[in-house]
Amino acid sequence: MTVTSKSKLTKGLIFSMAFGAAALSGGAMASAEEVNLYSSRQPFLMKPLLQAFTSESGIKVNMVYLKKGMLERLKSEGRNSPADLILVSDIGNLHNHDKAGLLQPVTSTGLTANIPAQYRHPAGNWFGLTVRARVIYASKERVKPGEVSSYEDLADPKMKGRVCIRSGKHVYNISLLASIIVAKGTEAATAWAKGVKANLARKPQGNDRAQVKAVFQGECDVAVGNTYYMGKMATNKKDPVQKEWAKSVNIIFPNQQGRGAHVNVSGAAVTKSAKNKANAIRLIEFLSGDAAQKIYAETNFEYPVKPGVALHPMVASWGEFKADKAYLSKIANERSTATKMVDQVAFNN
């Protein structure tokens, strides 16, 4: 008797829990006017873009800010995952999700029209939305014009004790190293990593912004960083001292005589499990369209992927540059090798 009443209780409990949970998560379930987004890009960055999308389309965007573990979460949620699309920075992340079979191909004339072929997956598994170049920041005072013009110069003995860079294991540096592996092979890339390591003014630390700060303070003469940090520092109203940091350096687009500067993308992809596929495509189309590309350009100082969208005046003032044309997926394939290379040359020690 006790047994039956207990199991009834358990059944009831499971039922009510399931019901309650279903009611709770109802907000994220399939519905015509919604789309569910997993984003590793920060909410404060995405908010204006997503608001613009909602007011234009009437589609509500539900978002989870997933800096880590997005791939594992999609995997464990499987076919029932509520996520319709993902938004991540760095080609490596797009590539890993694709390799894990979590994405689905999308055909959209709008997307192929907006996004040049080199910045999207050939079958439409992912789409780049913004471009950033990994450049050299050089002290206006202490670096002579022409003294540094390529990534290779960073490994030249003349730069001994003058170079600052963030952790060699950071995703941006791994991609840069992977691009060198693609361009020049493993051996040359190892030599390059060793050379840069030997020239470091300090142990790799901080983010890209912190490297420019170090140049400003005279701790080093050149630093490696993504382009948009320059814009963020030069216009920082809340922390005006950052404007001084920005003023102390020139942007050098590396390897303009050769293969071009290493560029990377942030991008989006539709998940295999998408329940609101049409809305997800609509959101990516919106993000690659004029209005959103302009917001990306103006608020985050990134290069729009869509040709013809005006750059932020400051970004434009850095001038045109030649980008490394190596196919991004190829670079992504070398990331694991690059990571191990950083260990082998003890870059971070």
Partner 1 sequence: MNAPRPRRRGGHWLDGWTVATIVIAALATVPIFAVIYLALTPSENIWPHLVSTVLSGYISTTLILMAGVGLGTLLIGVGTAWLVTMCRFPGRRLFEWGMLLPMAMPAYIIAYVYTDILEYAGPVQAALRELFGWSGKQEYWFPEIRSLGGAIAMMTLVLYPYVYLLARASFLEQSVGVFEASRSLGRGPWRSFFSVALPLARPGIVIGLSLVLMETLNDFGTVDFFAVNTFSLGIFDVWMNMNNVSGAAQLATVMLLFVAFLVFSERYARRRQRFHNTSSKFQALPGFQLVGGRGLAATIACLAPVLLGFVLPTLVLLRYAHQHFDPELSREILGHALNSVKLSVLAGTIAVLVAIIMAYSARIKGGKVLMVANRVAAMGYAVPGAVLAVGVMIVLGNLDNGIDGIARENFGFSTGLIFSGTIAAVTFGYLVRFLALSLGTVEASLGKVTPSMDGASRSLGRGAFATMQFVHLPLIKGGVLTAVMLVFVDCMKELPMTVILQPFNFQTLATFVHQYASDEQLGDAALAALSIVGVGVVPVILLSLTIAKSRPGHKGGE
Q: Which is nearer to partner 1, 144 or 203 (CB)?
A: 203
For the chain, give the number of residues. Answer: 349
Q: Is 4 in the site for partner 1 (CB under 8 A)?
A: no
Among residues 108, 118, 207, 299, which is the contact residue for partner 1, using CB under 8 A?
A: 207
Q: Which is nearer to partner 1, 163 or 309 (CB)?
A: 163
Between CA 341 and CA 174 the distance in angstroms is 9
Nearest to 208 by CA among 184, 229, 232: 229
Question: Among residue numbers 304 through 343, which ones bind partner 1 (CB under 8 A)?
Answer: 335-336, 339-340, 343
- Tokens representing 95 are 């590539």
Between CA 236 and CA 301 the distance in angstroms is 12
CA distances from residue 201 to 145, 204, 208, 218 in whole angstroms, order as listed: 21, 9, 15, 10
Q: ∠ at Cα 48 (300, 307), nearest 5°?
A: 55
Between CA 223 and CA 135 the distance in angstroms is 8
Among residues 64, 188, 191, 311, which is the contact residue for partner 1, using CB under 8 A?
A: 64
Question: Among residue numbers 231 through 260, which ones bind partner 1 (CB under 8 A)?
Answer: 238-239
Q: Residues touching partner 1: how many (CB under 8 A)?
A: 65
The least distance separating partner 1 from the CB of residue 336, rounded to whole angstroms, comes to 5
Q: Is 271 in the site for partner 1 (CB under 8 A)?
A: no
CA distances from residue 86 to 30, 61, 89, 105, 161 in whole angstroms, order as listed: 16, 12, 10, 13, 41
Among residues 210, 234, 295, 323, which is the contact residue for partner 1, using CB under 8 A?
A: 210
* CA–centroid distance for 6 within its chain: 53
Hey, is 136 helix, strand or coil?
A: strand
Q: Is 349 in the site for partner 1 (CB under 8 A)?
A: yes
Q: Which is nearer to partner 1, 42 or 186 (CB)?
A: 42
Q: Is 17 in the site for partner 1 (CB under 8 A)?
A: yes
Q: Is 21 in the site for partner 1 (CB under 8 A)?
A: yes
Hey, is 112 helix, strand or coil?
A: helix
Q: Is 31 in the site for partner 1 (CB under 8 A)?
A: no
Q: Which is nearer to partner 1, 110 or 206 (CB)?
A: 206
**Cβ–Cβ under 8 Å, residues 327 and 118:** yes
The least distance separating partner 1 from the CB of residue 325, rounded to whole angstroms, comes to 25
Residues that bind partner 1 (CB under 8 A): 17-18, 21-22, 24-25, 27-29, 36, 42-44, 62-69, 71-73, 75-82, 92, 96, 99, 167, 169, 171, 174, 201-207, 209-210, 213-214, 216-219, 238-239, 335-336, 339-340, 343-344, 346, 348-349
